[in-house]
Amino acid sequence: MSVPLPFDPSGIRLDPAQGLGVQLFQALRERILDGRLGARSRLPASRDLAAALGVSRNTVVRAYEQLYAEGYIEGRTGDGTYVAERVQPPSVPVPQVRRVPEVASLERLQKHHLPKPPSGAPRAFRVGVPAFDLFPFETWARLQARFWRNPPADCLGYGDAAGEWRLRELVAAYLRGSRGLHCEAGQVIITSGAQQGIALCAQVLLGEGDGVAIENPGYRAAGHAFATAGARLHGVPVDADGFQTERLQQLPDCRLVYVTPSHQYPTGVTLSLARRLELLEWAERSGGWIVEDDYDGEYRYSGTPLMPLAALDRQDRVLYVGTFCKIAFPAMRLGYLVVPPALAEAFARRRALDVRHSEVGTQRVMADFIAEGHFQRHVRRMRRAARARRDALLRGWPEVPGCAPMPTVEAGLHLCVRVESRERERWLVERALQAGVEVNALSDYWLPESAEHPDERAGLVLGFAAVPEAQIAEALKALRKTWGLSSL
């Protein structure tokens, strides 16, 4: 004769291929939480429930033990097992759809975030990618294996948030020698790429509502970092001499200026010396900050690389952002930030709150890579390769109706070609994508409020370093075909 149970277990379905005890625990817990087994409800004896479900008594015992351990049930001496009194279903039904709270930071993030990067191996004419097919991976692997074969015990615990001291010394020495930037290791903060350096500047230097002047068109990811920190963005036009510094007189709330002076992103122009000096005068006069992003300063094809703004700064108002990702490869995620001495401790403390410190192996191996001369040799090789790939693009670019002639390209890893209208730009970009060629629209680099003259914002942005000359030639052939230029 079967024993009547305190509740109907017929709805419990257990899969023999899975853990029966875990499944039973989850099924009983669900019934307790949704109220089907109310507080103080009596549970059947383990033997009776096992017989009703057709499982072993051990399965039920394991489920009960887990419910006991997590406080869902309790035993009464001589009286069986009951749902704990403190486990109560909510008296008011929980709504199925909950509205996201109106938090200012969440609202800003909905407007200011990075799009997903292009997937797959590099192809023509991807922007922001160096010739990492030329990286000396064998040398890097040898240095990495040497380090991890017997890593020093002093580097296996928590490290300095500002980065490994030896790497910071080598970065400072490299910048003094190659960029004319007089700095010491104590001013160098090792970062996870240039983007983190920009974000740190936003977090440390800006308060809610501070004005930030950025190039327009410009590097939208930098603007997003400042905006999510609570800053108000002011787009400043760019002309043949770069950032129009005179516009700062119209921005009394401006606390910080972000520029890419060596090779403006995306137009490719270089900030003139006169405007560099004007920008420094503004910072000194207003007490403002300048964030200088020198993301591809090593790539100069005529003469030596220009001295950065930070090298001209005498009032400690410039913060210099650099990266190894444009010399090595983006996935390395290793960059650096040079800050005025008085700010070094504050930046290290702020970075520690985000990531504690960078991964030690990559830092130590990069230090060896620089110290043993591999880095400088690789820089020279990358510069030669980028120049050759630039020449292949300039030499093979067809005359495209509605496009301006190719510009002179003296620096950087990309170029910009103006287009007569936004409609023409869109057509060219879409047809290129259909042909498997990446061509970026210049209009995407403008702030949204710059929509009053859409045709003036049209253009094509092309990176030329990502693939070898043969692939560039193939991509140009594909563009001629898809754009209907075969007969031109």
Residue located via tokens 């351990």: 69
Strand partners, 419: 403
Strand partners, 76: 80
Task: Express each pLDDT in 384-408 by its tens digit.
Answer: 999 999 999 999 999 999 999 999 9
Q: Which residue has the higher pLDDT, 119 or 281?
A: 281
% helix, strand, coil for the chain, step of 5 = 45, 15, 40
Cβ atoms < 10 Å from Cβ of 284 = 14
**Dihedral (Cα; 27, 32, 38, 44), 10-degree rounding:** 40
Cβ atoms < 10 Å from Cβ of 56 = 13
Average pLDDT over residues 156-181: 94
| Beta carbons of 384 and 406 less than 8 angstroms apart | no
Distance of CA 214 to the CA centre of its chain: 19
Give yes or no for residue 93 having a pLDDT over 80. no
| Beta carbons of 74 and 41 less than 8 angstroms apart | no
Assigned token pair, 326: 């444009």
> Measured between alpha carbons, how far is residue 37 from residues 12, 30, 224, 410 in Å?
13, 9, 50, 75
> Measured between alpha carbons, how far is residue 372 from residues 121, 135, 380 in Å?
30, 16, 15
| Beta carbons of 47 and 55 less than 8 angstroms apart | no
Cα separation, 192 vs 363, in Å, equals 11
| pLDDT, position 388 | 96
Average pLDDT over residues 211-217: 96
Task: Express each pLDDT in 281-317 by its tens digit.
Answer: 999 999 999 999 998 888 888 876 678 999 999 999 9
Burial of 250 (0-12, 13-18, 19+ CB in 10 A): exposed
Assigned token pair, 350: 């702020």
Cα separation, 9 vs 13, in Å, equals 9
Residue among 225, 404, 198 nearest 320 (CA)? 198
- Lowest-pLDDT choice from 176-185, 272-281, 479-488: 479-488
Task: Express each pLDDT in 321-353 by its tens digit.
Answer: 999 999 999 989 999 999 999 999 999 999 999
Taken in order of first residue, the domains within the chain and their CATH numbers are 9-83 (1.10.10.10), 106-120+134-376 (3.40.640.10), 383-482 (3.90.1150.10)
Residue located via tokens 């052939």: 477
Task: Express each pLDDT in 405-441 by its tens digit.
Answer: 999 999 899 999 999 999 999 999 999 999 999 999 9
Beta-strand runs (E) in 280-325: 289-293, 318-323
| Beta carbons of 128 and 265 less than 8 angstroms apart | no
